[in-house]
């Protein structure tokens, strides 16, 4: 037999599936029994079936290379799922709802009275230096007072079992299509497991997304026209854009397909003439969204779109300017923002964070840089950061110089030992580090996906889970041991 949990290493780690001495966690017990009974040949057959399903379903992601340009690659997927007890998940869900509610209140405040600055809770100088604060949005009142309609918050668990929020993605968070497709692959390959286990579903996300978007419509019509605005086929998340549009029954458009009329309404060009668009789920960054309001050289956006949005003639998700809270320096203040706006204690903690803008914290970072993870304030995808314990002396010195040049642009955190889960390596299983990105929809109601996208570092010892840098993914099972009670 290929899988022997008694010899699976867990010392010094928190494993999501296996406890000490090879004992499965209760929510993963049936899964582990099933896996224990597989022969090497059966494991290979299941892996081949999953690979074939991914190929037939056309699940890809795009990476960029200086030498080869953009390359479509097959989605890297591990057939052993991550398992979470539904009782724990309910607490995480409450914490995510709390967090996103406070962030939306914070964004609304920044574009209105800025009371949080006046009350000394959030430093005004951070706002002045923010690359994602949009003066064009000051005074705007979006529908329902919500700016970040779709949020992807990255969660990690350390070796002591504590779950932290690592960051909040509020601009154009991606990855939810892979969460949905991962589940479809697992249902194809392991149908019996879904019949015998109480695995909570994720399939309702597209309908929930559509309902939330439709609620932003300025027109009271039975079926608002919803469009997904994509930069085009060369964007790394194009698979997701087209997938979500198809699943929602929405239009997939590029900037050249849309025009803003003299009446400030947005119209889509069709063979039957202009068709009004009520809501746009935009997957284009702010600065390329409208050449009239932002970058005049942008060919990706729609001239006059900001004018239409301000006039209340079209709904936009996420709202322009929401990225002001998608900043790793702002992240350090979120626990204080929860206390300020909601008068509650945070239900999910932040990872301890040093803000290099402050001399005392900066001096600590500079003195201990080889022990810390240093991140730029507004990069994503794992780019531009330093993992001190794995970096060379020269790399550390480069970051020291960069921090001294622009301290506002950097934060640092202790190196966490991320939790692991059994991952297939050939026909053997080995622990690999992972994180989890649930998605939160904010509209008239707040909805949290039942689980999320689990990303796994496929390289031994690595903690970098991003697919663009060698990471893969797993299906995420929220298992209800109480039978829904």
Q: Which residues contact 447 (CB under 8 A, 6 or more apart)?
A: 208, 212, 440, 441
The answer to whether residue 122 scores a pLDDT higher than 90 is yes
- Does residue 297 share a domain with residue 365? no
Query: Residue 303 domain-assigned?
Result: yes
Tell me the HSE value of 111 on the side-chain side, using a 13 A CA sphere.
26
Query: Do 364 and 306 have their domain in common?
Result: no
Least confident stretch, 3-7, 46-50, 156-160, 177-181: 3-7
Q: Is residue 410 part of a domain?
A: yes
Q: Given this model, what pLDDT does residue 289 score?
A: 97
Q: What is the pLDDT of residues 278-288, one digit of tens each?
A: 999 999 999 99
CA distance 57 to 51: 10
| Same domain, yes or no: 368 and 292 | no
pLDDT in tens, 368-408: 999 999 999 877 656 788 999 989 999 999 999 999 999 99
Residue 377 counted as domain residue: yes
DSSP 149-180: SEEEEEEEE-TTS-EEEEEEE-SS---HHHHH
Check residue 21 and give its pLDDT: 84
325 falls within a domain: no
C-beta separation of 108 from 147 below 8 A: yes
**What pLDDT does residue 468 have?**
59
> How many domains is the chain partitioned into structurally?
2
Structural domain including 265 reads 219-313
Residue 255 lies in a domain: yes
Out of 395, 414, 433, a domain closes at 414
The CA distance from 16 to 36, in Å, is 17
| 347 CB-near residues (< 8 Å, 6+ apart) | 91, 94, 95, 98, 99
Any domain includes 155: no
Query: Residue 406 belongs to a domain with what CATH number?
Result: 3.30.1490.270
In a domain, 233, yes or no: yes
In the structure encoding, which two tokens stand for residue 270, read together? 């069709």
pLDDT, tens digit (0-9, with 9 covering 90-100), for 281-325: 999 999 999 999 999 999 999 999 999 999 999 999 999 999 999
Question: Looking at the domain assignment, is residue 78 inside a domain?
Answer: no
Who wins on pLDDT, 75 or 317?
A: 317
Predicted confidence at residue 62, as pLDDT, reads: 58
Report the pLDDT value the prediction gives residue 470, as an integer from 0 to 100: 64
Domain end point (choices 414, 433, 451)? 414
Looking up residue 302, the CATH number of its domain turns out to be 3.40.50.11290
- Is the pLDDT reported for residue 219 higher than 70? yes
Q: What is the per-residue pLDDT for 485?
A: 40
The kind and range of the H/E element at 366 are helix 359-367
CA atoms of 467 and 399, how far apart (whole Å) = 24
Q: What is the mean pLDDT of the chain?
A: 92
């Amino acid at each position: 037999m290929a899988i022997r949990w008694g010899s699976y290493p867990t010392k010094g780690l928190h494993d999501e599936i296996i406890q000490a001495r090879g004992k499965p966690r209760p929510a993963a017990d049936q899964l582990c029994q099933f896996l224990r009974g597989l022969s090497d040949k059966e494991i290979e057959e299941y892996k081949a079936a999953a690979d074939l399903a991914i190929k037939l379903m056309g699940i890809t992601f795009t990476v960029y290379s200086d030498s080869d340009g953009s390359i479509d690659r097959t989605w890297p997927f591990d057939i052993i799922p991550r398992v979470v007890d539904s009782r724990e998940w309910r607490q995480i869900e409450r914490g995510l709802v709390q967090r996103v509610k406070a962030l939306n209140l914070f964004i609304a405040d920044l574009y209105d009275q800025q009371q949080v600055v006046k009350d000394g809770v959030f430093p005004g100088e951070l706002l002045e230096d923010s690359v994602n604060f949009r003066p064009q949005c000051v005074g705007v009142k979006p529908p329902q007072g919500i700016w970040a309609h779709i949020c992807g918050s990255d969660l990690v668990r350390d070796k002591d079992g504590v779950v932290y929020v690592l960051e909040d993605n509020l601009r154009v968070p991606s990855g939810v299509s892979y969460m949905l497709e991962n589940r479809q692959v697992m249902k194809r390959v392991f149908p019996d497991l879904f019949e015998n286990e109480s695995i909570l579903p994720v399939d309702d996300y597209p309908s929930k997304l559509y309902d939330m978007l439709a609620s932003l419509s300025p027109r009271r019509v039975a079926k608002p026209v919803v469009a997904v605005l994509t930069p085009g086929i060369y964007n790394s998340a194009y698979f997701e854009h087209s997938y979500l549009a198809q699943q929602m029954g929405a239009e997939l458009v590029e900037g050249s397909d849309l025009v803003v009329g003299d009446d400030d309404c947005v119209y889509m060009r069709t063979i039957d003439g202009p068709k009004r668009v009520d809501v746009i789920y935009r997957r284009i960054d702010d600065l390329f969204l409208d050449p009239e309001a932002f970058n005049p050289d942008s060919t990706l956006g729609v001239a006059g779109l900001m004018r239409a949005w301000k006039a209340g003639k079209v709904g936009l998700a996420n709202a322009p300017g929401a990225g002001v809270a998608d900043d790793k320096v702002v992240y350090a203040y979120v626990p204080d923002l929860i206390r300020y706006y909601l008068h509650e204690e945070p239900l999910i903690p932040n990872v301890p964070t040093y803000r290099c803008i402050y001399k005392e914290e900066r001096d600590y970072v500079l003195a201990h840089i080889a022990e810390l993870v240093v991140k730029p304030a507004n990069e994503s995808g794992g780019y531009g950061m330093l993992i001190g314990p794995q970096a060379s002396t020269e790399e550390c010195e480069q970051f020291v110089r960069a921090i001294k040049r622009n301290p506002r642009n950097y934060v640092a955190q202790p190196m966490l030992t991320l939790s692991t889960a059994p991952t297939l390596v050939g026909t053997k299983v080995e622990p690999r580090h992972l994180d989890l990105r649930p998605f939160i929809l904010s509209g008239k109601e707040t909805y949290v996906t039942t689980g999320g996208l689990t990303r796994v570092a496929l390289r031994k010892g690595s903690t970098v889970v991003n697919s663009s840098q060698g990471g893969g993914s797993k299906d995420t099972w929220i298992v209800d041991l109480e039978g829904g009670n």
